Amino acid sequence: MTKADGAYAEPLGIMARQFVETRTKEFINYFRNESLLTDIDLDEWAKTVAAEIEISSSEREREELKMLTERMKLNCEKCDERQIKAINDFINRVERNGP
């Protein structure tokens, strides 16, 4: 993700956002249960999703961030408290990297 630019970066952002919204539990578990992914990787995901929101939202970034939060939580209905905390952490990182 850190080296993506131009034509590669656009679909990467779209796919990253779709993945966190639709496969939320898997996404969160990759960062909480797998030793291969770090907080630096989570920051890169947050930057990528924040950039996609900025590009696609046409000055509605706040509303889009709220929708992202709602979708992630809806797709993680049976998540435990630790997983919900991880979602909130991710959303905070997206917000910090947003416009």
Q: What per-residue confidence (pLDDT) applies to 7?
A: 55
Among 7, 8, 27, CA closest to 17: 27
Task: Provide the mean pLDDT of the chain.
Answer: 87
Residue linked to tokens 């993680």? 76
Per-residue model confidence as pLDDT tens digits over 16-64: 999 999 999 999 998 887 777 889 999 999 999 999 999 888 889 999 9
Q: What are phi and psi of 90, to 5 degrees?
A: -60, -45
Model's pTM, two decimal places? 0.86
CB atoms under 10 Å from CB of 52, counted, come to 23
Residues 6+ apart with CB under 8 A from 29: 83
Give residue limits of the domains in the chain: 6-97
Among 7, 81, 16, 70, CA closest to 42: 16
Q: What per-residue confidence (pLDDT) applies to 95?
A: 95
